Structure 1
Amino acid sequence: MRDDSPGRAIARAATARILSTASTTFPDMKLSNFSLPVSALSPGLDALRREVREFLAAERAAGGYARTAAGWDRYDPAFSRKVAARGWIGMTWPARYGGRERSFLERYVVAEELLSAGAPVRAHWLADRQIGPLLLAVGTEAQKRTWLPRIAAGECYFCVGLSEPDSGSDLSSIRTRAVKVEGGWRVTGTKVWTSYAHMAHMMNLFARTSPRSEENRHAGVTQFLVDLKTPGVTIRPIHNLAGDHDFNEVIFDDVLLPEDAVIGKLDGAWSQVTGELAHERSGSERWLNAYGLLVSLIDQAGPQPGAADAAHVGRLVAQLWTLHRMSFSIAGMLQRGEAPDVEAALVKDLGTHFDQEVPAVARRVMPEAARARLGEGHPFNAMLERAQCYAPSHTIRGGTQEILRGIIARGLGLR
């Protein structure tokens, strides 16, 4: 590429723009700088974004949290309760269930700011993101009144029991069974890779309640609410290659669940879980895992990066801007009551590859000798190490690349 080529100019301009918001103290990069003015959609969104940033700045100044290499993927119940006290959990839910009846666009702004700041929101994240909408859509009135206010208060945390040994991403092949008995359901089976089951209060369990049909492989499965303190539930840690304990194996040994544990329609969980996954796959958490590393990389590149470095980093910035706009548009679709299943799969697929590309670019821009000069304990090196360790998992979590591209192909009429 020539130094005066349009591509080089765009890369340099993007890098210069992102450099203007970064500093060696790793503040939040203002993602709204890279989007169309949100005030055109709602005058309150800019004010809300400022409110969240002020809250986060005050929390950092008071020692409430600090950005670490783990970013937002940290359990901190005390911080989650602070977020809840601001009305930022269950934002779109009805007030009678503890919600604030705000828009999906407002929720998106809050979520993006929390994640980009590396705030420790993992404790309440899953319950807010997908369990609440699931219960609002198909839960009983008793379930809504029992669980939604506790989630909105930042006091009840969930995990999801989907994957199983030998099943991979083929959820139709699950073998965990729930058998109807007097007074409820008896559950036997094993779930694996269950994120933060050892810290959660409840599980959304995906179990087979009828035999698998060759005509419809996805029939015969049901979702259940499971109190993880129920007798017969055993949680065993799975330590990953980074030395962290976030995954778990969860064993159900003749566990008795009450009648009212069923979520939604008996044998109808497949359609429910696909709608739930649209919430899981479309958010900015799918492309902000390596965000702290990107900001740190820009700091290390300095105000006058070389042409090759500017091109590499500028390309990342362009992808970041695109993913931001895509996720924001999906929030608009949710606001209109649409089901963005295909669009969510697109964001998840593109976003996870972006999270993998950030550490790859960081290694090119900051080769081994440059990293050694920073020292082993430098934040850049810590973030790069974690991003590299977790990069392979991004195209597996929340649906493998192959599964996602099948959804996209079918949605686009390509197969």
Structure 2
Amino acid sequence: MIGRLLRMWWTLAMAALIPTIALAQVVTTPAAGDTPPDSTPAIRIGGTLFTNYTYQTSPPTTDADGNIVKKNSFDVTRAYINVTGTISRLLAFRITPDVSRETSTASSLSGSLQFRLKFAYLQANLDDWMPSGSYARFGIQPTPYLDYSEGIYRYRFQGTMFVERAGYFASADAGASWRLALPSNYGDIHVGVFNGENYNKAEVNDQKALMVRATIRPFATLAGVLQGIRATVFYDGDHYIANGERTRLVGQATFEHKYLSGGFEYLDARDRPSAAADAVETRGNGYSIWVTPRSSRGWEALLRYDHHTPDNRSVFAPAGTAPNATTTLNSQKQNRLIAGVAYWFPLQGTVSSALMVDYDGQRFDNITTLPVHSVGAHALINF
């Protein structure tokens, strides 16, 4: 497994060079390093808000009277209240509740928006002993891969990234982690042990997830476009039960520039919910590619394509999901296309805000599920 990780990491680092060599003379802003922690005791309040209006153009649905209607709704998908603080130069903390909609029909609050704890962790800053930006965390915290990736992608307010939207893992979990920042902003290594059940669920067994993300920025100290290249490998090793494998391996290459950012990620997942001899082991895989060209006046575009094979076994698919009796599981694919235009308002201090209109379409190969198409308007405020 370690050899496979290293080979994928090296391949991504080399592959990322190909589309950018021709642009090597373009000037870009030098990569920013990590800011040393402030030693002054302080508590700060911030917030993040995602709101949207979505109109599903197809397929239609039916209301309580059996009328055919087009589903549409206003919604709030994120409402963080960020409480962060510095206790000393060594210690800091974060407490963040988030909004979620109660979907259980057994609850009297079914359909209501509720607050639940998303982040709650203590952080030990290790800058006095390691490169600036190194730390250790304990508690409910961002998982190593998604938090890092969303900082590059920037369009989480439109929807989740591929690996989360496909249901393979979430953005936060309870555990302990350590991040080592490499000197001169050449990358970082983030290692953690987590419950593995995500932040919104309690631990259910004695198994723990080992997550490792290793990122390299090979041209961090160079001026020019090559500075924006990063290559990442992420491994999530967990078990449903003893000898019941649940692993995810992700390879990623990203590029950042003043006028263009983009990324590619490939996922390989293995799931064996039981250790019984007759238990089924599934292996899913897929990829996502995205690009965000931008102007100097705040306008940006987002183009993204996801391709997912939930189970690549060459056995017949269940009759309820297959269009015919000869359909195999590895021929069933899920595809998503996202295209949108956004306007990012000029920065006002630490406040960032954006408005976006977009199309989000899903198409299914050799699956009886109907295609889903929607258009929407999304808003972001972060301070």
Shorter-chain TM-score tier:
under 0.3
Q: Which has the higher strand share?
A: 2
Higher helix share: 1
Structure with higher RCO (Cα < 8 A, 6+ apart): 1
